[in-house]
Structure 1
Amino acid sequence: MTLPTVLPAPRAVLFDLDGTLADTAPDLAAAVNWLRTERGLPPTPYSVLRPTASAGARGMIGAAFGLAPGDDGYEELRMQWFDRYQETMAVHSSLFGGVTELLLGIEQAGMAWGIVTNKPARFTDPLLPQIGLSHAGCVVSGDTTGFAKPHPAPLLEGARRLGIDPAHCWYVGDDKRDIEAGHAAGMVTVACNWGYCGAIEPSTWGADYLLDTPTDLLQTLRTVVEAARMAERAA
């Protein structure tokens, strides 16, 4: 767990969804492997698919079929994957261990929390109540603002909906784009080692914090809040 020296005390924590709050990779991988099975191909190993889960269709189709946006056949696969995933998005998906306690601790500390994800609203909106996240203070999906991370617009929209200055928000994610978006929005950034993280080592992302578990994040929040209170009393 890496701790910087002094950072603003948070009034809100915004979270990425896939690979940060929720372990959705099993259902994302199952949907793309269904496409392979339909074509008479063997399933792609889950160990190959899981690290790409935060990249959504681009990551899944890239890992399973070796295709990228713009390649012949990519768009057809993407639309079929969307349809299949929508039918089966909450079969095996669940919150990461410690996330329920983390969110409760944030609420008990008087802080707000919300979700800012690149996942389209057609998936985000029905998924959240099925995995126990319907009580988020705000939900900003990948198509809410017309921009996706690493653009800061979705994060700024999340702060606006919570009514909290971005400088007093922390953003937590498991992808380098999350940290880039958080910095661009003027937020404190947290890279979560418990997520999917992709091919780029999280220690190189430049996050303000690199934490291993949701419990570490809750403890860090409490430590920073208490340090800020002590500084106010000493002033």
Structure 2
Amino acid sequence: MRSGEPGTGNRESEKQERSTSGSRRFPRGVLFDLDGTLLDSAPDMLATANAMRVERGEPAMELEQLRPFVSRGSRAMVGAAFPQLDAEARAALVPVFLAIYERELGHHGAPFDGIEAMLAEIEADGGRWGIVTNKPEYLARLLMPVLGWESRCGVLIGGDTLPERKPHPMPLQHAAAALGLAPEDCVYVGDDKRDIEAARAAGMPSVVALWGYRVPGDLPEEWGGDVMVESPHDLLDSARWPARAT
């Protein structure tokens, strides 16, 4: 809901009342991974990989063949699409992958079920949220207007925004500071081991998003996250968030 629309005044009053009454239900700041956490971007990635495969005379691959690799980045997805190529040949295809992905961006994927309701609850509670992803920043920013998040996302850090990327803590520390908060006053939600490692190194409570993308053999219970949740709908329950961040 944009400012000036019916009901905006009531919602802003509710935010102010919650933030001043000490009855906060959700963390003051929530930072999210993007692919596999907020956004089911695997269909966009599949369209990209299959465009490349068709151009090279290969049959289309199925979504479930690519899906586990989406959170691992473009190199991993190129490797899944072309397992017969050596590392050097795969690396040479990464710019091609990114160029085609820019064309397919936002045309096939969508936020996971429950994400929009969760973001609305965080906002209604007076909290702020942002995104810390290893996706190149320019691609992440192109998605914001497609998703209607350009005026709602308080900070966006991409994999090339800073000198370091996850699992280094710098992106999370920088994002928390941009929200005007200490790392311990935020929560990071992610679906990959690197997300949880980055949060732990930053001194930030973390939530393991079990609905995301994982390769066979991943053991999220060993990542050291503060909380593990099966669905974005679980996070509508304020009791499911790490207690020290609320």
TM range (shorter): 0.7 to 0.9
Alignment-derived partner of residue 5 in structure 1:
none
Residue 181 of structure 1 deviates from its aligned partner by 0.5
Counterpart residue type for residue 220 of structure 1: S
Residue 188 of structure 1 deviates from its aligned partner by 0.4
SS in structure 1 opposite 2:175? helix
Task: Determine which of 204, 209, 213 is the counterpart of 2:231.
Answer: 213
Deviations 1:117-144 (A, max 9, x none): 0010121111121022221011111111
Residues of 2 paired with 1:131 and 1:167: CA distance? 28
Deviations 1:125-178 (A, max 9, x none): 111210222210111111111211111111111101001000111000011110
Residues of 1 paired with 2:215 and 2:245: CA distance? 34
* 1:49-198 alignment runs, 5 A limit: 49-66=66-83, 71-134=87-150, 135-198=152-215
Per the alignment, do residues 170 and 221 of structure 1 end up closer, same or farther by CA in structure 2, a change over 3 Å counting?
farther
Equivalent pairs: percent with the same residue?
44
Alignment RMSD:
2.0
Residues of 2 paired with 1:47 and 1:222: CA distance? 29
Residue 45 of structure 1 deviates from its aligned partner by 2.1
Whether the 8 Å contact between 1:90 and 1:130 is mirrored in structure 2 is yes
TM-score by length of 2: 0.83
**Structure 1 unaligned runs (5+)?**
1-8, 230-235
Alignment-derived partner of residue 203 in structure 1:
221
Size of the aligned set, in residue pairs, is: 219
Per the alignment, do residues 228 and 29 of structure 1 end up closer, same or farther by CA in structure 2, a change over 3 Å counting?
closer
Per the alignment, do residues 116 and 13 of structure 1 end up closer, same or farther by CA in structure 2, a change over 3 Å counting?
same
- Which runs of at least 4 in structure 1 moved beyond 2 Å after TM superposition? 220-225
Structure scoring higher RCO (CA < 8 A, sep ≥ 6) equals 1
Deviations 1:64-84 (A, max 9, x none): 11278x822123210110110
Per the alignment, do residues 211 and 223 of structure 1 end up closer, same or farther by CA in structure 2, a change over 3 Å counting?
closer
Whether the 8 Å contact between 1:112 and 1:162 is mirrored in structure 2 is yes
Counterpart residue type for residue 53 of structure 1: V
Residues of 1 paired with 2:168 and 2:81: CA distance? 27
Residue 201 of structure 1 deviates from its aligned partner by 2.4
Alignment-derived partner of residue 43 in structure 1:
60
Counterpart residue type for residue 118 of structure 2: L
